[in-house]
Amino acid sequence: MKLLLVCTGNTCRSPMAEALVRKRLPQVEVQSAGIFAHDGSPASHQAVTVMQEAGVLFNHQSKPATKERVDWADLILTMTEQHKQLLLEQYPHAAGKLYTLPEYASQEAAASWKSLQEAYADLETKRVRFASSYQGDPDRFQSEFMQSHQREIQHIQELEAGMPAADIMDPFGRSVEVYRNTLKELEFYVDKLAEKIHNEK
């Protein structure tokens, strides 16, 4: 498997994740890149510090997320939903292999997202049905629909509130302690990713 990890500048999150994947999944070919990265910038000082504390080999220079790298990868995992959307806009052909790291690695996230999509679809079906038989004031349609479907809307709100975080926290420009928290988050999802890859063999 060829894995590409993507963040903004490729100096913090994605190279930290790359180093963790190299250690945890040596059989996976892995690269990292940044949507707005330049070639050759060093990893942030705080990232180097926390990776050394964790005993993870970390020697990195930034690279941009080019078409060549996107095409090289079998799987692309971004650090945030926004990164994913930006890549989809630039490289729509990559849609089938592009996810956020939490979305792909976490079974709970996948199950929650499926439930939420089903709830959205159910509400939309009911909205269309309600609209086809609605005889009232068009200006009041939305409020009357919401009033008569409060239970479904509340269910969606509860599902949204319970969704796992889709984004890995950006520590850029912040303290070493924030970087340590980001590292813990990355370790959690890389462990989940390793479990998923081993289970799919």
Q: What distance in Å separates the CA atoms of residue 112 and residue 139, rounded to the nearest whole number?
A: 34
Catalytic residue among 13, 24, 129, 174: 13
Q: What is the CA radius of gyration of the chain?
A: 21
- The CA distance from 10 to 12, in Å, is 6
- Catalytic residue of the set 7, 12, 69, 127: 7
Whether the Cβ atoms of residue 199 and residue 110 lie closer than 8 Å to each other: no
Establish whether 180 is a catalytic residue.
no
Number of Cβ within 10 Å of residue 170's Cβ equals 16
- 12 noted as active-site residue: no
**Annotated catalytic sites, by residue?**
7, 13
